[in-house]
A = this chain, B = another copy of it.
Amino acid sequence: MDRKLMKAYSEIVLSGALKIGNDDVLWLRSEPVHQEFARFLAETAYELGAKYVNVSYEDPAFDRIRIDNTTVDSFLDYVPENRSAMFDSVVREGWRSLALRGPADPDLMEGADSARLARATKASSMARRGFLSAISSNRIPWNVCLAPTRAWAAKVLGSDDNWEKRIWDILIPVLRLDREDPVAAWAEHDALLKRRAEFLNSRRFPGIRFTGPGTDLTVGMLPDRLFNGGSSTSSDGTVFFPNIPTEEIFSTPDMTATRGRVKCTRPVTVYGAQVDGAWFRFENGRVVESGAETNAEVLKQYLATDDGASMLGEVALVGVDSPIYRSGRVFHNILFDENASCHIALGNGYTDCIENGTTMDEEELRQHRCNQSLVHTDFMIGSEEVDVIGIAEDGSETAIITNGEFVI
């Protein structure tokens, strides 16, 4: 990444998305492969007045090494206390959290023993559950963004010839780095997402129906549900972007009310394995039947993670005006692929999509039919062949997305 590009990108992330300024402590998580950009981000954060940048390099290769080589299965349930303590302290101390994603090895978990993988992943999620809950209710400003790697780019591009230039030619418009003032462009885009969310919040459709090839799914919604999109506001009043890029408006379904069949339109990474052609059939909010063309076994493991893993925690609408969709690429990275198309997530619900939800405890959330789970994985279900309709209390229908395009 050249310095000009790093500068523009770090500005949208640190200033635009995370509003880093005086006295902030930034927690930066990254694979070691992103060392150069991580260093640039740290330098920029200090220039912006940050008090401290705490960098955690995380190398997921150690997870694979552990899954393959541990001599006793039950060791996989162990996560050191100090790992939970680290995550919890970030929330308690009001740090800002930035996760740089983009795997050094996108196929790291291919061929791993799926039971061992699920066991280790579940334990790791358990250890982070305080943090995940804090993130999902925006207690601190947080952001997840992508940094490309050679192996990941090769997967997107089909080869690694001249990968850096080719991948950035795709990423620059998606990140709006080609605009004169990218930070302003994101603010403008935020306003569009907010208008779309407001439309849905003014109607409060109890049903959102997706129809398309292999899909006729009605996601049930409760009247206290809110659609959000773009920027969020943390408990200290900071307006921040959880994701860059972001093209979705999203809400939390009634976990008991979704019904019908849905076919995924993009591959999804589940427990580190690529699942293609997944499909689900829902009854009373729960997946009662599922399948996939690849790694169906991993998908089954996922659905069995806990009680909430087979119910919805999110429904999100994305139009084909998304630059990510328009790029015509599959990014094999959820941060991008979820912003290419409408999606549903199996797993934990967003409490900030429920009126007063961020103040509710687990029992209250259950009463409000907000799904709770250790996991949350997006499954993409949109394309230009998919329509989305809002169904009102009286059964009347309002087109929201037609042939993939927003019509509201």
Contacts and interface: CB of A to CB of B under 8 A. Distances in A.
Interface of A: 22, 25, 32, 35, 38-39, 42-43, 46-47, 49, 51-55, 57, 59, 61-62, 65-66, 68-72, 75, 78, 80-83, 85-86, 89-90, 93
Contacts of A66: 42, 46, 52-53
Contacts of A32: 32, 35, 57
What's the dominant secondary structure at chain A's contact region?
helix
B54 A59 contact: no
**How many identical subunits does the complex contain?**
2
In order of increasing CB-CB distance, the 3 nearest A-B pairs are: A46-B69, A57-B57, A32-B32
Contacts of A89: 80-82, 85
Given A78-B52, A82-B89, A86-B82, A42 B71 contact: no
| Residue of A39, A62, A83, A90 ringed by the most chain B CB atoms within 10 A | A62
Given A42-B65, A59-B57, A65-B39, A93 B81 contact: yes
A219 B68 CA distance: 53
A38 to B, nearest CB: 8
8 contacts: A35-B59, A39-B59, A51-B70, A51-B72, A52-B75, A53-B62, A53-B66, A57-B57
Contacts of A53: 62, 65-66
Contacts of A71: 22, 46-47, 49
